[in-house]
Amino acid sequence: MRRDRLSRRTVLALTGACSFATVGVGQLAGETGDDEQPDEDDGVSRDTFVIREGTDQATTVYVTTAEADGPTVVVLGGIHGNEVAGYVAAGEIADWTIDAGTLVTIPEANAVAIERGTRTDDDGIDLNRQFPESSEPRTDLASAIWDVLSEFDADVVVDLHESIGIYAGDPIDGVGQAIFHSDGDAVAETADSAGTYATKHYVDDMDLAFKTGSFSGPTTEPSGLLVHKAARDLGADSYLVETLSRSPDLETRVQWHLAITERLLADDVFVDDPENGDVPEQPVDDDPGEEVPDDDDDPVETDPGDDDDGETGVSPSAEIRTDPPNADELSLESGQTVTLDATCSTVTDGEIVSYDWQLNGDETVDETGDTIDVTIGANGDHSILLRVTDEEGATDTAQITLSAE
């Protein structure tokens, strides 16, 4: 049964959500320790173990198991270290009480990036590009995270992120305030319900209303996203949640993540709710009338990279290749020149008539042309956005982040 509001515990604990307990139980995923005991207060069993133990990537996995049978849900935060609300919310979710099934939570998936406060780790690697479909993950950390999902045989996966801009039908400004989902009518309906519900109950400004869209196809960049692999290799119902990282305060953004996640999981691990808040006597009205913009005419386009992991390619489809190859996964040197090639961008009908490049993290077009050279002028992360336009005026964007040290 879906709930009418966030649990009392969830709301009241927000002020302390920025600190997590450090627990280290070197236990294999899926195994239960002999000393694991149900929590006397909530009737669930709780366990923890550490992945990448003994390295700077070490992070804790939290496992909550209810007495009643049900699906296994995996919730992650902190894949990108500069998307704070996602990993703070995941830390709260690790303490949730469930009524059925198993809840596995990895609050700080990318501990190094979180420590740095950046999207990438010390080597400039974007963790959310390291999960290729139908093949092994590309890094040790990605492999460890994937092992958790595989060993627990995740039925549902929720990955919490943030974006520097709002998704509004064209991801050039960002993909925030959106829920992206795997294929299937039921999955789409659940995402739509969660977005509508969060907007109706927790969003005051309708410019920040949540929208939804399906994942991009296997051949559409960006590739290597965890939720894509979970959906296509494990068959899990998968969701990528994006909130706006600018302007709203952290507590508000965390609340959005919590509200959406509870709503996404309500029919899976919350059968009844005597402790987590009041169950509505009547079904929640999922139709806020004219308050929530209709996004039927706003197909979700290709992800803008640093604004995170947006979905569903449309015509045209923007793509960036680099020389040296995969420059966005390398640690570059200040002063190094990288060639950016957009000739791999495609269009279903007609042709692409313009290639516009934004190099300074704002809306100004700095270069045009299907191929350009950029020179890294300073250490740090440098976001580059490509916008392509076809003969009909349709656009698509792609974005990469080049990192120099």
Residue 231 CA to its chain's centroid (Å): 14
What are 8's two structure tokens? 């009392």
What are 159's two structure tokens? 């990955």
373 bridge partner residues:
339
Strand (E) or helix (H) holding 10:
helix 8-12
User: Does 271 have pLDDT greater than 70?
Assistant: no
Amino acid letter at 36? Answer: E
**Residue appearing with tokens 């197909």:** 299
How do strand 237-244 and strand 178-181 relate by DSSP bridges?
antiparallel
Sign of the CA dihedral running 390, 393, 398, 399: positive
Residue 193 sits at φ, ψ, to 5 deg, of -60, -40
- In the 8-state DSSP scheme, what is residue 333? P
Longest Cα–Cα distance of the chain, Å, equals: 66
The 10s digit of each residue's pLDDT in 297-349 is 333 333 334 445 544 434 678 889 888 888 888 888 888 899 999 988 887 77
The 10s digit of each residue's pLDDT in 128-172 is 999 999 999 999 999 999 999 999 999 999 999 999 888 766 555
All domains of the chain in start order, with CATH: 8-291 (3.40.630.10), 321-404 (2.60.40.10)
Which of 164-173, 194-203, 369-378 has the lowest average pLDDT? Answer: 164-173
Q: Do 105 and 51 form a contact (C-beta atoms < 8 A)?
A: no
Q: Output the pTM of the full model.
A: 0.64
- In the 8-state DSSP scheme, what is residue 14? G
